[in-house]
Structure 1
Amino acid sequence: MPISAVYVDVDPNGGPLTVAIDRSAASTATRSWNIQVDQIPCSSTTRAPTGCLQYFTETSGTVMSFNFQNTITTGTPQIANTNYGVCIEMAAGYCGIIWERDTTVGDNGFTVSGNAAVLAPGLIGTPDASATGTADCTEDYIIIPGGVDDAGNLADRYCGLGFPNMVTSTQKPFTMFVVTNDNEDADAAGTIGTNSGFSLNYRQTTTC
């Protein structure tokens, strides 16, 4: 399981911050957590901008959805009821950001919505299995403001069981938003809860 860092704004004059961990009573699996907490001064240059649950400062890297695993199973679905921002600090001299599916995790680098069980073999992860726009992406999706794929198609929302070859955005600040609904549990047929989420590589570009 990859390590995930989250940034939470707190009132410096307020009380203690509480972390609540809730698990299903029906689960028989043994769970464990290893949580490190670091406090960041309000004036620190490393402080994440307001509204950024995740914050990356490198010119290239990988962003994974919470609970992402590189296998499609009913035991490792993407987390339900999320709506958060991922921010990339724009480096000096760069004007755009490129997003691509992480191919090191196999075909499952982008399984956000839809039923992987009925998809033809070889299509998972490919642009042919992707969907875009507000009409098709209504439940689980990511938002890349000002996104343009390698074919020149403009879209903000991306969902489905695949991702375009690349999506470029020159809109500042560099952000991505993640939205999931409340229906991520597996049903009896195993047709729900098989979406693992995403693992996307990003790289900043000077070509805009």
Structure 2
Amino acid sequence: MPGSELASRAGSLAAPAAAAPSPSLRASGDNLQPALKEMGNLRLILALNIAICQQMSLAESDLEDEEVVQSAPSPRAVAALSRYYHTRCAGSAADSRATEGVCLGLLECRAEGGASIGSCGLLGVCCAVERSCFSSSALKVSYFVGPSDTMTTSCSFNVQVKNPAVCQVRLDFENFNLAQPTGASTDGQQYWFGCDTDRFSVASPYSGNLGFKHLCGRNHGQHMYVPANSTPAMDYLVLRVQLGSERSRVSWRIKVTQLECEQPAPPPWALPSPVLSALNRQLQSLRSETRADLDVLAPPGCLQYYTNSTGTFESFNYDGTAGRYLPELNYAICFKRYPDTCQISYSFEDFQVGAVTGNANYTNQDCEDATTYKDYLYIPSVSDSDQGIKFCGNQTSLPIQVSKSPGPLQVHFHSNVWRLKIFQQYGFKIHYTTQSC
């Protein structure tokens, strides 16, 4: 391909505001618009110019199109410019509360009302975007924070799912302090229990299957996964907080991360030369490699998902035994199964769920028949048995439980609205370790 033609195309890309182009060039420019919107004008133009400059070394050779395509730059040649755009990034600013953001151009970050908490790629900034009441965001990472106005009684945040690759949204409760659940006694002994003063909820097309209605109390460090879909009329996810009378004591800061699944490659853009078409294919391949969040996606049906091989999980509002586990829960807590994992062990540090009398330990049918509360933690395939076990009561001296369940590793927690007044019913704190055989 002659060098003069390459130089002409480079000029048309780098200076789109020049004199009126011919109809053919105008058509090429129109075809480039999806790419410019996707990758960001500056990064894509620089990337394309890199490709053109590399090809200009061959300008005096009369090469066939196939030879030109084969000599197109590798993805790594443009990685520093484009691969991190709109991906998650780690913050490094010491004065920022945000530990993670989204990689944007500086001007785009400012337009979103965000703050730079570090750098990413070659030209980007790690942008932390905070939103409060009655706002929205379509960014991969954003923060929903409580208002400074103590008169607020209702607050909502709309998570806009515009990216067709997004299949889950993860909510990390970096700070979550609402009023404790309250109850009303029916006979002086048992009472109805619920989040009556303050409550957090999630509204989405899938909210009926999440495993909870409301959260309240203290839930620092907790998280949850919500299914997501960019299909019109299904692309919404609304976080809502309803507040009672003591609004000065409440606070929350929730990191919202839109997680991407693997996706089919989009149709190729109509670009003006085999060189640029080859670069486009490489950029798309690089984009899929960078943006898929496969390591942190939860198995279907899991409200919570732990990816470390060892760790600790707690009931909502456990708060170091100072809280009470929440009512109307029915959800799965899942753990990542590594290729060599064949079992998982559970060590109970604290456990008080559906307690009835003294320090009694209940299992299985006792958790259904011995009480009217029917609250329990279910562990499948315990020890060498194929049967699962339901645990309830005060499990004060329970030995380590080992589960060899096939498929996803999980436990299941269930609670209703009734409690016995003489016990606090703080919930559970359990250590887990996945093990190879």
| TM-score grouping bracket, smaller chain normalisation | 0.7 to 0.9
Picking from 186, 200, 206, the partner of 2:430 is: 200
Given that residues 63 and 199 in structure 1 are in contact (C-alpha distance below 8 angstroms), is that contact kept between their aligned partners in structure 2? yes
Q: Name the CA shift for 1:153/1:41 in 2 (closer, same or farther; >3 Å).
A: closer
Check if 1:21 corresponds to 2:251: no
Q: Name the CA shift for 1:169/1:34 in 2 (closer, same or farther; >3 Å).
A: same
Q: CA deviation at 1:85?
A: 0.6
Q: Which amino acid aligns with 1:5?
A: H
> Distance in 2 between the 1:131 and 1:27 partners?
38
Q: Which has the higher contact order (CA 8 A, sep 6+)?
A: 1
Which residue number in structure 1 is paired with residue 251 of structure 2?
Answer: 32
Given that residues 132 and 155 in structure 1 are in contact (C-alpha distance below 8 angstroms), is that contact kept between their aligned partners in structure 2? no
Which residue number in structure 2 is paired with residue 106 of structure 1?
Answer: none
Q: CA deviation at 1:28?
A: 7.9
Give the match's secondary structure for 2:392: strand
Which residue number in structure 2 is paired with residue 113 of structure 1?
Answer: 354
Q: Name the CA shift for 1:12/1:177 in 2 (closer, same or farther; >3 Å).
A: same
Which residue number in structure 2 is paired with residue 105 of structure 1?
Answer: none
Q: Name the CA shift for 1:154/1:196 in 2 (closer, same or farther; >3 Å).
A: same
Matches within 5 A, 1:57-206: 57-71=307-321, 76-102=323-349, 109-115=350-356, 119=358, 123=359, 129-133=360-364, 135-138=365-368, 139-148=374-383, 155-162=388-395, 164-172=398-406, 173-184=408-419, 190-191=421-422, 194-206=424-436
What do the CA deviations read for 1:13-48 (whole angstroms, capped 9, x no partner)?
Answer: 12320122245x577882221111111012231211
> Distance in 2 between the 1:166 and 1:153 partners?
17
> Distance in 2 between the 1:144 and 1:71 partners?
22
Q: Which amino acid aligns with 1:167?
A: Q
* Structure 1, unaligned runs of 5 or more: 103-108, 124-128
What do the CA deviations read for 1:79-125 (whole angstroms, capped 9, x no partner)?
Answer: 100011111111122210001113xxxxxx1111114xx63xxx5xx
Give the match's secondary structure for 1:90: coil
Q: Name the CA shift for 1:99/1:29 in 2 (closer, same or farther; >3 Å).
A: farther
Give the match's secondary structure for 2:418: coil
Given that residues 308 and 336 in structure 2 are in contact (C-alpha distance below 8 angstroms), is that contact kept between their aligned partners in structure 1? yes
> Distance in 2 between the 1:94 and 1:8 partners?
26
Given that residues 310 and 432 in structure 2 are in contact (C-alpha distance below 8 angstroms), is that contact kept between their aligned partners in structure 1? yes
Given that residues 101 and 199 in structure 1 are in contact (C-alpha distance below 8 angstroms), is that contact kept between their aligned partners in structure 2? yes
Q: Which amino acid aligns with 1:16?
A: Y
Q: Name the CA shift for 1:176/1:29 in 2 (closer, same or farther; >3 Å).
A: farther
Q: In angstroms, what is the RMSD of aligned CA positions?
A: 2.5
Give the match's secondary structure for 2:228: coil
Structure in which a larger fraction of residues adopt strand: 2
Q: Which amino acid aligns with 1:21?
A: V
Give the match's secondary structure for 1:171: coil
> Distance in 1 between the 2:242 and 2:412 partners?
24
Picking from 23, 47, 56, the partner of 2:297 is: 47
> Distance in 1 between the 2:361 and 2:346 partners?
14
Structure in which a larger fraction of residues adopt helix: 2
Q: Name the CA shift for 1:27/1:131 in 2 (closer, same or farther; >3 Å).
A: farther
> Distance in 2 between the 1:66 and 1:50 partners?
20
Q: Please report the TM-score for the alignment, with normalisation by the length of structure 1.
A: 0.76
Q: Which amino acid aligns with 1:113?
A: G
Which residue number in structure 1 is paired with residue 228 of structure 2?
Answer: 10
Given that residues 112 and 196 in structure 1 are in contact (C-alpha distance below 8 angstroms), is that contact kept between their aligned partners in structure 2? yes
Given that residues 318 and 428 in structure 2 are in contact (C-alpha distance below 8 angstroms), is that contact kept between their aligned partners in structure 1? yes
Which residue number in structure 2 is paired with residue 126 of structure 1?
Answer: none
Given that residues 345 and 402 in structure 2 are in contact (C-alpha distance below 8 angstroms), is that contact kept between their aligned partners in structure 1? yes
> Distance in 1 between the 2:380 and 2:347 partners?
15
> Distance in 1 between the 2:388 and 2:341 partners?
22
> Distance in 2 between the 1:90 and 1:20 partners?
33
Give the match's secondary structure for 2:321: coil
Q: CA deviation at 1:154?
A: 5.6
Q: Which amino acid aligns with 1:69?
A: D
Q: CA deviation at 1:58?
A: 1.1
> Distance in 2 between the 1:181 and 1:100 partners?
25
Q: Please report the TM-score for the alignment, with normalisation by the length of structure 2.
A: 0.38
> Distance in 2 between the 1:52 and 1:12 partners?
20
- Percent identity reads 26
> Distance in 2 between the 1:162 and 1:22 partners?
34
